[in-house]
């Protein structure tokens, strides 16, 4: 519960979390606008799907030209460098 709140607030308010900020990354909609709180929560929950299928959802980043993970595709988000 606390983790979901952390990710939802971080991504919807600041477009980043502490770990992403360290690496200079931000989470935005595919049209480069800010992520809404509901979409940020959905992205957090969808990341569980990426994990549950043996991490393949995360591994997709290495093979896709747009570098989007499964949960990013599901929620129409992108991770970009600041």
Query: Could you report the per-residue pLDDT of 24-38, keeping only the tens digit for each?
Result: 999 999 999 999 999
Query: What is the structure's pLDDT at 39?
Result: 98
Please give the model's pTM, rounded to 2 decimal places.
0.92
Q: What is the pLDDT of residue 55?
A: 94
For residues 49-66, average pLDDT:
95
Find out whether 27 and 46 touch, Cβ atoms under 8 Å. Answer: no
Q: Are strands 25-29 and 77-81 parallel, antiparallel or unpaired?
A: antiparallel
């Amino acid at each position: 519960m606390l983790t979901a709140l952390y990710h939802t607030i971080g991504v919807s308010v600041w477009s980043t979390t502490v770990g992403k900020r360290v690496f200079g990354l931000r989470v935005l909609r595919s049209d480069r606008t800010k992520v809404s709180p509901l979409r940020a929560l959905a992205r957090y929950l969808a990341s569980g799907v990426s994990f549950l299928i043996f991490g393949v959802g995360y591994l997709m980043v290495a093979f896709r030209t747009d570098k989007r993970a499964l949960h990013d595709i599901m929620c129409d988000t992108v991770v970009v460098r600041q």
